[in-house]
Amino acid sequence: MKKLFLFLTVFLLSANLFALRILIVENAQKQQITAGGPFNLVVMKTGKKYKLESGGTFSVQLLKNGKIKAGSLEAEGDIILKPLKQTPFNINGNTYTGVLTITPSKNSFNIIEETELEEYLYGVLPYEMSYSWPAEALKAQAVAARTYTARALEDQVNKSFDLYADVRSQMYKGSGIVYPPVKEAVDKTGGQVLKFENKLFYTYYHANCGGHTDPLPWNSPDGNIKPLLGVKCPYGDKSQNATWSRSFTNAEVSAAAAKSGLKGTITGISISKKTSGGRAAQLIVRTKHDNRKISCNDFRIAIGSVKFKSCMLTKIKKTSGGFDFEGKGYGHGTGMCQDSAKAMAERGTNYKDILKTFYPGAKLSKL
């Protein structure tokens, strides 16, 4: 890496109220980064500044002495990469356009991107809802994602970053590639959020509710507010996510139950409690010598939420090798049903009415 000394004004987004810090690489030992053009680099501890004229691919790694090595440069503490002339940074196949901070964290390092809220949404929407879906569905998704983000910023439990780049927050793969329908949806709803009783709330959403949305299956920071209590939803029944079935081995089921403290081979599973919308809230899981009531959502996560698609269960059958499950929908079932939003948009419903349907009592507001 060439070292060309040049004055670098450290790029700070803190002047922007809605600047975001997203954790895009977590607990890494080594990471390849490709810069698509010129960028500035600053070592925060020493204040040394460099300009890399031509970009290129370089490796970032943690050294045994705790220093970070970026290309040929070794440094203690944070290293900042600031793009010039809209230079994109490619990491793990994703393209980022914000400022990157490489920061040591115990025996590894993290990479955090700083970007603006609307830019962030460009990199969220196509991975939470297909960019090919109707415009009004994409607008509804833009408002829901913006509201969720703004609400998350109010909590900010981590001092070094605000959001994860995965389902712990929202799926995000950078804004280096912007799909025109996504840009239009974000721009046309610019700054719009939902509020309930004049407060932002977590606007949860999911793929398919299976016919009825329900309250969140874990404790929400916002409590059981009206917009998240659940509504009947007859729109998403034509989706590929409308129904599902899956067989699990005895070993898989026992391993999932063990995470809730139930040891031994599972001999039976039944629903002990349902929500008003028909979703399994609690399961009774049995062994030869014990039984335990387990949250269906906890069991779903333990066994794999991609395979065990929802707790809107329609069948549980014991087999010689394990258990067969059948159900409806995909996801936790709270807030906006994305498949239904698509179906409503295809029927001519606008995004404001889609949002009213899934978040009853919420009001569209401006940040």
Rounded mean pLDDT, 65-69: 91
Checking 307-310 for CB contacts under 8 A at 24+ apart, the result is 307/246, 307/248, 308/246, 308/248, 309/241, 309/244, 309/246, 310/208, 310/210, 310/244, 310/279
Positive or negative torsion for Cα 256, 261, 266, 267 = negative
pLDDT level of residue 157 (50, 70, 90 thresholds): low
pLDDT of residue 146: 98
Cα separation, 341 vs 323, in Å, equals 33
Q: Does the pLDDT at position 14 exceed 70?
A: no
Q: What Rg value do the Cα atoms of the chain yield, rounded?
A: 23
Q: pLDDT for 189-219, tens place per residue?
A: 999 999 999 999 999 999 999 999 999 998 8
Beta carbons within 10 angstroms of residue 362's beta carbon: 23
Please tell me the predicted confidence (pLDDT) of residue 178: 95
pLDDT digits (tens, 9 = 90+) for 239-271: 999 999 999 999 999 999 999 999 999 999 999
**What residues have CB less than 8 Å from 14, skipping those under 6 apart?**
none
Q: Are 272 and 282 in contact (CB under 8 A)?
A: yes
Q: What's the order of all strands across the beta sheet hosting 268-274? A: 268-274, 280-286, 291-295
Q: Pick the more confident residue, 349 or 289.
A: 349
Say yes or no to pLDDT of 19 above 90.
no
How far, in Å, CA of 59 to CA of 31, rounded? 6
Q: What confidence tens digit (pLDDT) does each residue in 284-326 have?
A: 999 998 999 999 999 999 999 999 999 999 999 999 999 999 9
The band of 18, judged by pLDDT with boundaries at 50, 70 and 90, is low
Predicted pLDDT of residue 296 = 97
Q: Quick one: CA torsion of 82, 85, 89, 90, rounded to 10 degrees?
A: 180
Count CB atoms within 10 A of the CB of residue 258.
13
pLDDT score of 319: 96
Residue 15 has pLDDT above 60, yes or no: no
What is the pLDDT at residue 105? 83
Backbone angles phi, psi at 302, to 5 degrees: -65, -35
3-state SS of the chain is: CCCCECCCCCCCCCCCCCEEEEEEEEEECEEEEEECCCEEEEECCCCCEEEECCCEEEEEEECCCCCEEECCEEECCCEEEEECCCCCEEECCEEECCEEEEEEECCEEEEEEEEEHHHHHHCCHHHHCCCCCCHHHHHHHHHHHHHHHHHHHHHCCCCCCCEECCCCCCCCCCCCCCCHHHHHHHHHCCCEEEEECCEECCCCEECECCCECCCCCCCCCCCCCHHHCCCECCCCCCCCCCEEEEEEEHHHHHHHHHCCCCCCCCCEEEEEEECCCCCEEEEEEECCCCEEEEEHHHHHHHHCCCCCCCCEEEEEEECCCEEEEEEECECCCCCEEHHHHHHHHHCCCCHHHHHHHHCCCCEEEEC
Averaged pLDDT for residues 4-20 = 42
Q: Is the pLDDT of residue 274 over 50?
A: yes
Q: What is the pLDDT of residue 13?
A: 35
What pLDDT was estimated at residue 12? 34
Phi first, then psi, for residue 328 (nearest 5°) are: -125, 145
Predicted confidence (pLDDT) per residue in 214-241, tens digit: 999 988 889 889 999 999 998 878 899 9
What is the arithmetic mean of pLDDT over 138-150?
98
Nearest to 59 by CA among 38, 79, 42: 79
Q: Is 159's pLDDT higher than 90? A: no
Q: Which residue has the higher pLDDT, 283 or 5?
A: 283
- Please tell me the distance from the alpha carbon of residue 332 to that of residue 326, in angstroms, as a whole number: 16
Cα separation, 120 vs 174, whole angstroms: 7
Question: What are 31-52's pLDDT values in tens digits?
Answer: 999 999 999 999 999 989 998 8
pLDDT at residue 4 tops 60:
no
